[in-house]
Amino acid sequence: MAGFKIGIVPVTPFEQNCTLIWDPAGGTGVVIDPGGDVPRIESAIERAGFRVTDLWLTHGHLDHVGGAAELAANLNAKRPESQDPIRIIGPERQDEPLCASIAMQGKMFGVPGLQDVTPDHWLTEGETVRVGPYVFDVLHCPGHTPGHVVYLCKAARFAQVGDVLFQNSVGRTDFPYGDHEALINAITTKLMPLGDDVHFVCGHGPSSTIGAERKNNPFLR
C-alpha cells in the first residue's frame, strides 16, 4: 500500500486491532493503539523486522492505550543511546482524564496489568505525523471520546480510524464523555468527504472503505 506495510495484532479481551505500520525500505515504523498484551506486540514487531520510532494513540480507552507505557519502556530499554527514545503521540488533549485513569478502567473491566499513560505530545487537528517518508494527517473526530483522532495518509488512500467508524457500525457513545451527535457529525463532515476509495482499519473487527460504509452502514443513512 503506497510502499508501506500494515499488520494487525488483536489485543486484550476486547480484541482491539493494535496496528503496525512500517516502511520496509527504511526499516522504521509505528505502533498504533498498543492496548495490552505487550509481549504479543513485541513478537509481531520482531517478526516484521522494523525499528519503532513512535507509538500513536487514537483515544484514551483502556484497550487502546493500556500497554503504551509498558511497550515504550521495554523498547527504549533495548535501544542504543545514539537513537532517540520512542515517543508516545496523541490523542488530542481532551482525552487526558481517560489516559490518566487506565489502571482504574482496567480494574473496572477486569483487565489487570494496564498502566496510565502520559503522552509525550498531544495532537491537534492539522498536525502531521510520519512513517518514514509517508505523511499522515491528524483529524480530530470526537464523539466516542472527546479527544479521539484519526490518522489519514492521503497519498495511500488509507486511514486508521480507531473507534469512530466500523464496518456497518459506528463507535459507541454510551461510555462517559461519549456524544453521539458529535460522533455522527465527525463521520459525516470529516470522514465521508475523504472519498469512497479510502480504505480504513478500525479499532475492532474487519477493515472497510468509506464507499462501502456510505452505501451499507445503517447508522449513516
Looking up residue 40, the CATH number of its domain turns out to be 3.60.15.10
Return mean pLDDT, the chain.
96
Q: Is the pLDDT of residue 16 over 90?
A: yes
Closest alpha carbon to 115 in 107, 123, 124 = 107
Which domain range does residue 45 map to?
A: 5-220
Mean pLDDT for 94-109 is 96
Q: Which pLDDT does position 2 carry in this prediction?
A: 60
Kindly tell me the sign of the dihedral angle through the C-alpha atoms of 119, 125, 130, 131. positive
Q: Which pLDDT does position 81 carry in this prediction?
A: 85
Per the structure, how many domains does the chain have?
A: 1
H or E stretch covering 184: helix 180-186
Separation CA 198–CA 79 (nearest Å): 35
For residue 165, what are the contacts with CB-CB under 8 A and spacing of at least 6? 171, 187, 191, 200, 202, 208, 213, 217
Closest alpha carbon to 157 in 196, 190, 206 = 196
pTM of full prediction above 0.85: yes
Q: 221: pLDDT confidence band, cut at 50, 70 and 90?
A: confident
Q: Is the pLDDT of residue 143 over 70?
A: yes
